[in-house]
């Protein structure tokens, strides 16, 4: 800027702490991305050494995102997406998947990580017919998210609310349920809830997560599939229910192998 004030990109860079590992950057590393630092790679490798399945989980979660977004866009006609906790861009991001099906789709990404903000420009691409935007907001304040998203999305029309691998960062379970409920309450009938989170279904994963939480990074709580089911209360859960992500409507002719990340898709009547 010509007046000497820092640009938003510069402000974001100044807030990035490269001395503490960060989940979005570690996930990026496991997915084969390059938007991470040495501290993230060290933490990621330590986690992988205890729980070698984690890279499989990371990649399975992206395949699940592709399938679920394609499903609600193609099969259910959804044209608006609120993707909260989007993380760093990798491949086949929500807007790319949705707008491949329906170029007029409108996508709002929400995150409050400075590195994600730095890369927001990469996300802010769209077809000429659609819209892609980014909101810098905190999941702990769902009302603020809804207010900001409402400038882009029409909450009188169906929306796909996406909470993909983010609710484990809400350490208090009752608060996590409350946040989900408040977000879902703002959705009009005909909307969808699309979700996944890592689960406590593997002892190696639990040990690796304990070690990760001790690094000073924002902790992530592994919860049981039964606990995750509470996020869907009051909605119509679609078949096959809440399952290991590779088992959610796999491509015909494939032989999916379950892993310790569970999700589902639900409909709001």
Provide the 8-state DSSP code for 81: E
Contact criterion met (CB below 8 Å) for 244 and 262: yes
CA distances, 141 to each of 33, 111, 145, 161, 179 (Å): 29, 12, 7, 15, 8
d(CA 198, CA 225): 9
Q: Note the pLDDT tens digit of each residue in 94-136.
A: 999 999 999 999 999 999 887 787 787 777 789 999 999 999 9
CA dihedral sign, ordered 251, 255, 261, 265: positive
Q: Which two tokens stand for residue 255?
A: 């032989």
CB atoms within 10 A of CB 10: 11
pLDDT of residue 1: 40
If you compute the radius of gyration of the chain from its CA atoms, what whole number of angstroms results? 18
d(CA 222, CA 171): 10
Which of 51-65, 170-184, 189-203, 233-247 has the lowest average pLDDT? 51-65
Q: Is residue 48 predicted with pLDDT exceeding 50?
A: yes
Name the superfamily (CATH) of residues 60-202+221-268. Vaccinia Virus protein VP39 (3.40.50.150)
Q: Note the pLDDT tens digit of each residue in 208-228.
A: 998 888 877 788 999 999 999
Going from N- to C-terminal start, the domains of the chain cover 60-202+221-268
d(CA 48, CA 182): 35
CA distances, 142 to each of 21, 98, 185, 228 (Å): 25, 23, 11, 19
């Amino acid at each position: 800027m010509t007046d000497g004030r820092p640009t938003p990109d510069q402000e974001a860079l100044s807030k990035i702490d490269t001395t503490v590992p960060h989940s979005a950057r570690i996930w990026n590393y496991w997915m084969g991305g390059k938007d991470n630092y040495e501290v993230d790679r060290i933490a990621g490798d330590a986690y992988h050494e205890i729980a070698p399945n984690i890279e499989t989980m990371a990649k399975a979660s992206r395949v699940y995102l592709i399938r679920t977004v394609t499903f609600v866009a193609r099969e259910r006609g959804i044209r608006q997406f609120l993707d909260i906790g989007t993380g760093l861009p990798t491949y086949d991001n929500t807007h790319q998947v949705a707008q491949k099906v329906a170029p007029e789709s409108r996508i709002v990404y929400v995150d409050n990580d400075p590195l994600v903000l730095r890369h927001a420009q990469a996300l802010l691409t769209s077809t000429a017919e659609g819209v892609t935007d980014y909101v810098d907001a905190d999941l702990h304040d769902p009302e603020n998210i809804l207010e900001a998203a409402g400038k882009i999305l029409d909450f009188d029309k169906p929306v796909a609310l996406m909470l993909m691998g983010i609710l484990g960062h809400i350490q208090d379970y009752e608060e996590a349920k409350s946040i989900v409920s408040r977000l879902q309450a703002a959705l009009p009938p005909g909307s969808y809830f699309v979700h996944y989170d890592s689960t406590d279904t593997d002892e190696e994963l639990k040990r690796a997560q304990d070690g990760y939480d001790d690094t000073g990074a924002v902790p992530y709580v592994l919860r049981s599939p039964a606990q995750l089911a509470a996020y869907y209360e009051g909605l119509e859960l679609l078949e096959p229910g809440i399952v290991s992500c590779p088992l959610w409507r796999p491509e015909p002719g494939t032989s999916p192998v379950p892993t310790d990340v569970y999700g589902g898709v639900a409909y709001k009547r």
